[in-house]
Structure 1
Amino acid sequence: MELEKTLHRVQERILTHQCAPQIMNICSKILLSMVSINLLIIWGLSNRTINQISFDQETKDNIYHFSIIDEDNTMLMMKYAKTQELLHLKTELLQSHNFTIINISIDYNNYFDSNLQKLLSLTTNLETLFLHDIAYSIQSDIYVKNNATNQTYIWKEKRAPQNQLGKIIQHLWEFSIITFGLFISSAISSLYIKITIICAPVIIIIMLEVSYLFGNRQIFPIFLARAFPWIGLYLNILDRTQRSKKQLIIAFALMLFLIYFIYLSSVIIGGFLLFKSQVPFSLEDNFFGLVTVNEFASLLFLRTRSSLYFVPKFTIIYYYLFLWYVQSTNYGFYSLAMLTLSYVCLGTFCLFIYLYEIPSLGWNPLSYYTPTIDRPRCYYLPVFSLNWVNDLPQLWSMFYPLHGRRYFQIQNLALVDRNFPLLNNLLDIEMQEQQ
């Protein structure tokens, strides 16, 4: 509860800035407009004429050197072959062992069928266009290497299910994998964000410990207990009993350290589940970074009923559409799609902040549907223990769904409604039952 109050104060301070409404309105319009433009560009690039790349599928000893040249400037150099090992051997060694090296050079202006395709290509890079041509013009095992970056792409010949039932099973399997990967990624990202915020006061503690060396012993327990009760509560006890706070600080720091490595592990697992081997470099990192940013933005800014109900649903739909595009294409314009995903997620956040979160700061504070310092969010989690009021809830509670007011009875909401007579009466009844 106290953590939520602290986050509410931060959100309120940010959104009460006089320029916040204009900034959110402009950002939402620009970002969502860019989404529409990017989708049209992706559609145009996906439907362009595929260049048929020269490749002998029967010969394993051929290696192809492909170049796109603009006058005297080499704009792209790629190698591809049916055998992966050939890509990593030097040209002199290949020639000495009588491997066939086929050089293919194409003029940049002749690589496109029209000026429109040439214009659309400016939104991506030549490597992506070439790999897109490779993926859709060669239907066999092939290995491709970029000479400049040394990144290797692999395509294996796939046999698609012939009957309708097989296709349905394949789609259900892909959907299940995406769902499982998203669950791991979003859940651990959320946990990482929460633990980071929880452990952030440790830095302040260390700074105040330094102030101890200069004789300032008054502000420490008072400041921490009020500002960060979930840590200050224990520090206050240690201070009163004149015990060392070192072990407590180390414990929180080690927990943050451990959660960080769990987060890195989830990125590796999520990358294995959600992405194929032939994706652009850093695409996975960008996606998981966006997931983490969305989790942080949700934790900090989403407080009204409409935002809490709609934004997570929209966001997960965006994730599914992006990942389905990655899974269902041999090679697509993934970097542009990733940029579009970022725009639509951030644009949706800005739109809901502009429509609901900023106006809610001026709503009637007596209304049960207005976020306030005592009611930081308008969806609720049952308080199974009153210790959660000043301390932190158990970690399992992050998987417990939030509910609206109609899920609870009036007496269940006595704490958030500040109905102290009813709350005291309930506590008295509970104490009598325990006796």
Structure 2
Amino acid sequence: MELEKTLYRVQERILTHQYVPQFTNICSTILLSMASINLLILWGLSTRNINQVEFDQNHRDYLYHYTIVDGDNTLLTMKYSSTPELLHLKTELLQQHNFTIININVDYNSFFESHLQALLSQATNLETVFLHDVAYSINSNIYVKNNSTNQTFHWRQKQDVAQNYTQKVSQNLWEFVVITLGLFISSAVSSLYIKITIICAPVIIIIMLEVSYLFGNRQIFPIFLARAFPWIGLYLNILDRTQRSKKQLIIAFTLMLFLIYFIYLSSIFIGSYLLFKAQVPYGLEDNFFGLVTVNEFASLLFLRTRTSLYFVPKFTIIFYYLFLWYVRSTSKITTFILDYGFYSLAMLSLSYACFGTFCLFIFIYEIPSLGWNPLSFYTPTLDRPRCYYLPVFSMNWVNELPQLWTMFYPLHGRRFFQIQNLALVDRNFPLLNNLLDIEMQEQQ
């Protein structure tokens, strides 16, 4: 409860700034518009005329050097072959052993059929456009390497294999299960990491206040922490009053932060294995998991009204599913599919959609809620930091942190509780005292 109050104070201080309403309104409009425009660009690039890339699948000793130039500037250098080993050998060695090297130079102005295609391609990079051409114009085993990044891509020959309705449904269901599992691991651990980081943040303040001891200030330490961060301050206050060392407690919280961080890194590794295949550009996984972490942090800090808590996570998860479904459906390395998508553009669209939706709900609900009637049970206040509640199974949770398993326990609205269950939240102290007296009598 005290952690929620602290976060509420931070949120209130941020949203009461005079320029925040205008900022969130403008950002929501621009970001959602950019997301829509990017989707149109993505559709336009996906339906453009494919450039036929020169390739002879019958000659496995051929190595192709593909270069896109604009005057004297080299914009892209790729090489591809049916034999992957040729991509990693030096040109001198290939010539010495009489391998055939075919140089293909393409002028940037003639690479696109129209000015519209050239304009749309500005939203992505030439590597993606070239790989898209390779995937859809060559029906053969092929290996492609970017000379700048040294990243290698691989496609196998497409085979027409008939699938009945049951097989298609089973395959789509399996894709849905894998995406769900990957999202659960990624979002849950990201949420845990963010919450533990906020919980352990006072450790930095503790170290700073310890330094203030050197200057003789011994009054601010227990008072400040006990009020602002009771989940740590209460224990430190006891240690301070008994003149015991606080070193071990500080080390314990610091080590817990490191442990959760390594768990977070492990979840990224598992999530990358489940959600992404080898046929994606560098940095796509990091950008996606970074977006998940930012969304978890922003939701923890800013979402407090009923409508925001109900709809924003649902919209965000839908955006995640659409993005991951697009990535997985166009990046498979199988004998049946030979595709490549515009993943960076899709990632940008996902970011715009998530942040735009978030800013929209902040502008429509969270900022106005600061001026709502504080007596209303559906108005977020310092005593009711959020309008959805977690059942309190122990009174110790009022000043202490709930157990970690409660992050998977669903939140409930007021209609799920009886009036006596909300006595503490509603500050109905006569009813609360009466309930506590009855409970004590029953225990006796």
TM-score range, shorter chain: over 0.9
Distance 1:357 1:289 in 2: 24
Contact 1:81-1:143 within 8 A present in 2 as well: yes
Select between 300-309 and 327-336 the one with higher mean Cα deviation.
327-336
- CA deviations 1:3-26 (Å, max 9, x no partner) are 000000000000111111111111
Tell me, yes or no, if structure 1 residue 114 matches structure 2 residue 114.
yes
Distance 1:26 1:245 in 2: 48
Distance 1:114 1:178 in 2: 38
Distance 2:162 2:185 in 1: 29
- CA deviations 1:135-175 (Å, max 9, x no partner) are 11223332111112212122234655522221111111111
Aligned to 1:210: 211
Select between 370-379 and 109-118 the one with higher mean Cα deviation.
109-118
Distance 2:176 2:111 in 1: 36
Distance 1:240 1:412 in 2: 36
Tell me, yes or no, if structure 1 residue 221 matches structure 2 residue 222.
yes
Q: Report the secondary structure of 1:425's partner residue.
A: helix
Aligned to 1:82: 82
Tell me, yes or no, if structure 1 residue 347 matches structure 2 residue 356.
yes
Aligned residue identity for 1:389? V
Distance 2:158 2:310 in 1: 40
Aligned to 1:281: 282
Aligned to 1:137: 137
Cα drift, residue 403 of structure 1: 0.7
Q: Report the secondary structure of 2:170's partner residue.
A: helix
Aligned to 1:201: 202
Aligned to 2:67: 67
- CA deviations 1:65-91 (Å, max 9, x no partner) are 111122333221101112222111001
Aligned residue identity for 1:141? N
Aligned residue identity for 2:362? I
Seq. identity, %? 81
Aligned to 1:255: 256
- CA deviations 1:326-358 (Å, max 9, x no partner) are 111221111111111111101111100000000
Aligned to 1:146: 146
Aligned to 1:359: 368
Task: State how 1:363-378 maps to structure 2 within 5 Å.
Answer: 363-378=372-387
Contact 1:161-1:167 within 8 A present in 2 as well: no
Segments of 5+ residues of structure 2 without an aligned counterpart are 331-338
Task: State how 1:384-423 maps to structure 2 within 5 Å.
Answer: 384-423=393-432
Cα drift, residue 211 of structure 1: 1.2
Distance 1:75 1:371 in 2: 54
**Could you list the runs of 4 or more consecutive aligned residues of structure 1 that deviate by over 6 angstroms after TM superposition?**
none
Aligned to 1:230: 231
Aligned length, in residue pairs: 435
Tell me, yes or no, if structure 1 residue 294 matches structure 2 residue 303.
no
Aligned residue identity for 2:285? E
Aligned to 1:37: 37
TM-score relative to the length of structure 2: 0.96
Contact 1:62-1:101 within 8 A present in 2 as well: yes
Distance 2:158 2:285 in 1: 23
Q: Report the secondary structure of 2:43's partner residue.
A: helix
Aligned residue identity for 2:236? L
Distance 1:19 1:386 in 2: 40
Tell me, yes or no, if structure 1 residue 267 matches structure 2 residue 259.
no
Aligned to 2:345: 336
- CA deviations 1:104-159 (Å, max 9, x no partner) are 22222221111111111122111110011111122333211111221212223465
Distance 1:161 1:252 in 2: 57
Contact 1:305-1:378 within 8 A present in 2 as well: yes
Q: Report the secondary structure of 1:226's partner residue.
A: helix
Distance 1:357 1:266 in 2: 31
- CA deviations 1:190-236 (Å, max 9, x no partner) are 00000000000000000111111222211111110000000001111
Aligned to 1:96: 96
Q: Report the secondary structure of 2:65's partner residue.
A: strand
Aligned residue identity for 2:61? D
Aligned residue identity for 2:36? S
- CA deviations 1:410-434 (Å, max 9, x no partner) are 1111110001111111111222222
Aligned residue identity for 1:213? L
Aligned residue identity for 1:267? I
Aligned to 1:315: 316
- CA deviations 1:294-342 (Å, max 9, x no partner) are 0000000000000000000000000000111111122111111111111
Aligned residue identity for 1:57? Q
Distance 1:83 1:390 in 2: 65
Q: Report the secondary structure of 1:171's partner residue.
A: helix
Distance 2:18 2:3 in 1: 26
Distance 1:298 1:209 in 2: 33
Distance 1:70 1:15 in 2: 48
Distance 1:360 1:218 in 2: 37
Select between 129-138 and 57-66 the one with higher mean Cα deviation.
57-66
Distance 1:140 1:268 in 2: 31
Distance 1:181 1:380 in 2: 27
Select between 272-281 and 156-165 the one with higher mean Cα deviation.
156-165
Distance 1:100 1:9 in 2: 69
Select between 411-420 and 425-434 the one with higher mean Cα deviation.
425-434
Cα drift, residue 57 of structure 1: 2.6
Distance 2:287 2:94 in 1: 38
Segments of 5+ residues of structure 1 without an aligned counterpart are none
